[in-house]
Chain A
């Protein structure tokens, strides 16, 4: 049975606690983008993806997700653990020596739920397209999903991939772009203005839709359901997800400062106060 909105929001609140505690414990990692995408990951793994029990690398007979902006690994790890891929207690090993939870996601340590390494930006869309092509060859009707940062679109490989996906009608694929308007050095409009991203995807031949409330679980579910209904119609589908970096922690929002910075003890306490325990800490 699918969880209701309250349950999903409780899940998301616990994920935010995980993110904050993970990056605080090792004084490194990327909380800003992780917090901004917490509701998306929650909706994705708790509702949207048609997943099989357990983990099989080939992923036949289920929907697959690829994280291209691998630096938001804290949200990915927390949601994978709380969706049953590995023990929640393992979140305590994030970024520690000999961990399966490397700074950026990898298959190298055999962590269930990860199908490709990411971190060096701009590569995930190509990989997702490959997986989508394999699904078509295998006659598997399930879908491929991916997530990309907006700053990440500055990497040229994305545009090669976008061109290919449209030209060869990779229509079993939904790529989501986290439009938070921020990257390490500041606002994307200041670092390298990318103009009208929606118009660019459309010009490249994609079917594009926007989720303007990207931190609202119900808006995400409605938007992704709409995106799913547009697959199989000859075009790859792009979802522009408007999010707030650092969402859920008041002093981390409306700034790019927390892109790759961990909170200190006082800041962690304040942040956790705003996100009380729901499912139980790891």
Chain B
């Protein structure tokens, strides 16, 4: 249960990462856009009829000349964004993750990625935690789709503070970026002043028995899992991978050298996600046992976010089970 842990402080070793007040990651994006609007004249925003959902309200109000309401026409939005870069603008497009990726894959592939355009594709409502709308809107394949595009940077943030920091950071990162975040209110635990470096993993907890590599909403669950594993006498290292591509292989391999086994955790299909990128890194460098917390090649369905994360085994209980399993495989 995501919400149940909102106010519960994490154990002593992880005191730095307590929930300072739950918020949705998309509001972190909105706050980032508000700040970018003030700081960067060249930042423009495009939206396909989802201003409220993407938290674009402030940017639109403060900078109407730099905000483009495209309507329900995502392909056109991606193309217009690509064109805006040609005049030196830094376009941030916003819609749900499903409509930001699969629906417009060829437009992103040709007009943005292959053309090396400085477009920031910002996607809310990713994964199962979109909830009741069901599988038509719950994309679980977007990380795979986007990481396969040459030159595309892929980022999946874990909380409000990290999403805001990432939004600011990608404006200074030249090249196409996919920024993935979500709908639900979740714990906000990353320090507001934590620097966000594209491609740089963040070590959240040191441990020696198993490495838990998590992204997005599963990072908080990984911290809870580490706390509970410690109660069982298992020392878990927790790494927050916010940038799935390029992957911080150095940080992963350094941790693996110590723990010799890995659990990856993500709100995504087991095919094509963070887990597969980590597996590739391991197989090329240091093959050690790995277990996956991910959706097992299926679509989602309607339900509350908590119900869905439990049904599809994307929670700390699943991470703990996989950690114990992978340690036994060493």
Residue ranges of A at the interface with B (Cβ–Cβ < 8 Å):
57-60, 64, 66, 106-108, 115-120, 123-135, 137-138, 140, 156-157, 160-161, 163-164, 167-168
Render B72-114 as a binary contact track against A, CB cut-off 8 A, 1 for contact: 0101111111111111110100000000000000110111001
A157 contact set on B, CB distance < 8 A: 75-76, 79, 107
Count how many chain B residues have C-beta atoms less than 8 Å from C-beta atoms of the other chain: 32
* Bound: A124/B65 CA distance, A: 23
The 4 A-B residue pairs with the shortest CB-CB distance, nearest first, are A130-B83, A134-B87, A126-B79, A160-B73
B71–A164 CB distance below 8 A: yes
A125 contact set on B, CB distance < 8 A: 79
The answer, among A59, A116, A140, A160, for a CB contact under 8 Å with B115, is A116
User: Is B26 an interface residue when CB atoms closer than 8 A count as contact?
Assistant: no
User: Is B116 an interface residue when CB atoms closer than 8 A count as contact?
Assistant: yes
B106–A120 CB distance below 8 A: yes
User: Is B299 an interface residue when CB atoms closer than 8 A count as contact?
Assistant: no
B307 to chain A, nearest CB (A): 36
A130–B110 CB distance below 8 A: no
The answer, among A59, A116, A134, for a CB contact under 8 Å with B111, is A116
User: Is B245 an interface residue when CB atoms closer than 8 A count as contact?
Assistant: no
A168 contact set on B, CB distance < 8 A: 68
B88 contact set on A, CB distance < 8 A: 58, 60, 134, 138
Also in contact, A137 and B75, with CB within 8 A (given A116-B111, A130-B81, A164-B80) = no
A140 contact set on B, CB distance < 8 A: 87
A164–B73 CB distance below 8 A: yes
Also in contact, A115 and B86, with CB within 8 A (given A106-B114, A157-B75, A160-B75) = yes
* Bound: A37/B21 CA distance, A: 62
User: Is B66 an interface residue when CB atoms closer than 8 A count as contact?
Assistant: yes
* Bound: A163/B73 CA distance, A: 10
Also in contact, A60 and B115, with CB within 8 A (given A117-B110, A164-B71) = no
- A sample of 12 cross-chain residue pairs with beta-carbon separation below 8 angstroms, ordered by A number, consists of A57-B86, A115-B86, A123-B75, A123-B79, A123-B111, A126-B78, A126-B79, A126-B83, A130-B80, A131-B86, A157-B76, A164-B73
A189 to chain B, nearest CB (A): 26
User: Is B70 an interface residue when CB atoms closer than 8 A count as contact?
Assistant: yes
* Bound: A117/B149 CA distance, A: 15
A137–B89 CB distance below 8 A: yes
* Bound: A59/B71 CA distance, A: 28
Main SS class of interface, B? helix
User: Is B44 an interface residue when CB atoms closer than 8 A count as contact?
Assistant: yes
A133–B80 CB distance below 8 A: yes
Which residue of chain A lies nearest to B107 when distances are taken between CB atoms in the complex? A123
User: Is B164 an interface residue when CB atoms closer than 8 A count as contact?
Assistant: no
B87–A127 CB distance below 8 A: no
Which residue of chain A lies nearest to B68 when distances are taken between CB atoms in the complex? A133
A126–B71 CB distance below 8 A: no
B70 contact set on A, CB distance < 8 A: 164
A183 to chain B, nearest CB (A): 19
Known: A57-B86, A119-B110, A123-B79. 10 other contacts (CB 8 A): A106-B115, A107-B114, A116-B117, A117-B110, A130-B82, A131-B84, A134-B88, A161-B76, A167-B71, A168-B68
Which residue of chain B lies nearest to A104 when distances are taken between CB atoms in the complex? B110
B87–A60 CB distance below 8 A: yes
* Bound: A272/B91 CA distance, A: 47
A156 contact set on B, CB distance < 8 A: 75
B167 to chain A, nearest CB (A): 21
B309 to chain A, nearest CB (A): 35
* Bound: A186/B107 CA distance, A: 26
A166 to chain B, nearest CB (A): 12
The answer, among A119, A134, A138, for a CB contact under 8 Å with B83, is A134
Render B44-78 as a binary contact track against A, CB cut-off 8 A, 1 for contact: 10000000000000000000011010110101111
A57 contact set on B, CB distance < 8 A: 86
The answer, among A60, A127, A135, A167, for a CB contact under 8 Å with B82, is A127
* Bound: A140/B84 CA distance, A: 13
Which residue of chain B lies nearest to A161 when distances are taken between CB atoms in the complex? B76
A136 to chain B, nearest CB (A): 9
A59 contact set on B, CB distance < 8 A: 86-87
Also in contact, A126 and B86, with CB within 8 A (given A108-B115, A119-B110, A120-B106) = no
